[in-house]
Structure 1
Amino acid sequence: MGDVVLRGDDRHLSGLWFAGQKHFPAHLAVVSSAHTSAPRLPDAVRQGYEELMAYFSGALQAFTVPLALSGTPFQQHIWAMLLDIPFGRQVSYGSLANAAGLPPGGSRAIGNAVGRNPVSVIVPCHRVIGSGGTLTGYAGGLDRKQHLLALEGGIAGNRGLFDAVPIVSGLTCA
């Protein structure tokens, strides 16, 4: 499935992307977990990494790493709503639009905000689905969205599909 890239400091995790996904900040350098000369990881990045490993192994359903989400007030409002979607549950874009008080057709605005989520998986944008249960619109790719939803549904054989890789902004690797 590819690498998961984390960005943050000692206090907050501010980014989590699948390497190469839509809206992935290309200036970040990937630091492999096997890269022995990597600097000390910031505390929140380390916590995010450890929680992701527990999540992908099926041992964690709720993340506690502190987040610093950078976006418009509307995006931040929608991302806060995503954090309220329980593990193993899904909501439609239309339901989110309705809950946000948007007029009919507001699901497009929801989709745009969800698609700009800077902390994938932890801010569970993968739990937002199309009307009728269709899988639509995931910046990390629909195959990953399907695997994340299967993981949360407890389907055997879908654990361990991801390699999490901590990231330190500005670091360059040979």
Structure 2
Amino acid sequence: MYYQSSYDSPIGKLIIVSDEKNIIGLWMVGQKYFLGTLSHEAFQYTDNVVIKQTKNWMDRYFASQKPDIKELPIVPIGSEFRQRVWKILCDIPYGTVTTYGDIAKQIAKEKGIASMSAQAVGNAVGHNPISIIIPCHRVVGTQGSLTGYAGGIDKKIALLELEGVDLSDYHRPKKGTAL
């Protein structure tokens, strides 16, 4: 059984979903792939301990207190490849960014293969079911593009600015699906 609760954040309403013991989803209302990994409906329930912990974590995050991802029991639902990408995202330090290409190179090296598609990585990043906590907003294009955020570029920029990232070397993409 899934439980959900809403959280009013500075970037808009978020929906937190728990399986009672773990956080399995955190989506921005209206984002691309909203509730996309749920196999059945979630019931409104605000007394869940894990949801309360997550709301406290979010309060501290939006107050720039840099809460640790490891404080929360997160269990995103996805393929083995997506799980690997999301694990790498969890290791991106607060206030820093990496590129889709760098993540692809890391996975290729781990697998002992010559290369990995940055587009495949981008697809996995875009389907991250636990936004903000698993910091997919910290991934940018190789040429400094702020592309590829399912919640929208404005929200990506707001999160990066909250974390103190200097965005002077980055730019909005001229076209794309997650603008």
TM-score (norm 2): 0.75
Seq. identity, %: 39
What SS class does the counterpart of residue 119 from structure 1 fall into?
coil
Residues 27-70 of structure 1 deviation map (CA, whole Å, 9 limit, x = unaligned): 86896xxxxxxx44211111111100110011234231101111
Residues 90-129 of structure 1 deviation map (CA, whole Å, 9 limit, x = unaligned): 0000000001106556100000000110000000000000
Aligned counterparts of 2:165 and 2:65: Cα–Cα separation in 1: 11
Hey, what does 1:68 align to over in structure 2?
75
- 1:89 equivalent to 2:96? Answer yes
Aligned counterparts of 1:146 and 1:28: Cα–Cα separation in 2: 31
Residues 138-168 of structure 1 deviation map (CA, whole Å, 9 limit, x = unaligned): 000000000000011178xxxxxxxxxxxxx
Hey, what does 1:145 align to over in structure 2?
156
Counterpart selection for 2:105 from 94, 98, 109: 98
User: How many residues get paired?
Assistant: 148
Hey, what does 1:132 align to over in structure 2?
143
Query: Structure 1: which 5+ residue stretches go unaligned?
Result: 32-38, 156-174
Paired residues of 2:107 and 2:116 also in contact (CA < 8 A) = no
Aligned counterparts of 1:48 and 1:41: Cα–Cα separation in 2: 12
Cα distance change on mapping 1:10 and 1:105 into 2, 3 Å: closer
Once superposed, what is the RMSD of the aligned Cα atoms? 2.2
Aligned counterparts of 2:63 and 2:92: Cα–Cα separation in 1: 20
Query: Structure 2: which 5+ residue stretches go unaligned?
Result: 1-10, 167-179
User: Higher strand fraction: Structure 1 or Structure 2?
Assistant: 2
Following superposition, which runs of at least 4 residues in structure 1 exceed 4 angstroms of deviation? 26-31, 102-105
Paired residues of 1:9 and 1:42 also in contact (CA < 8 A) = no
Counterpart selection for 1:8 from 12, 18, 38: 18
Aligned counterparts of 1:97 and 1:108: Cα–Cα separation in 2: 9
Shift of 1:11: 1.5
Cα distance change on mapping 1:135 and 1:103 into 2, 3 Å: farther
Greater RCO structure (CA 8 Å; 6+ sep): 1
Cα distance change on mapping 1:103 and 1:5 into 2, 3 Å: farther
TM-score (norm 1): 0.77
Counterpart selection for 1:55 from 61, 66, 80: 61
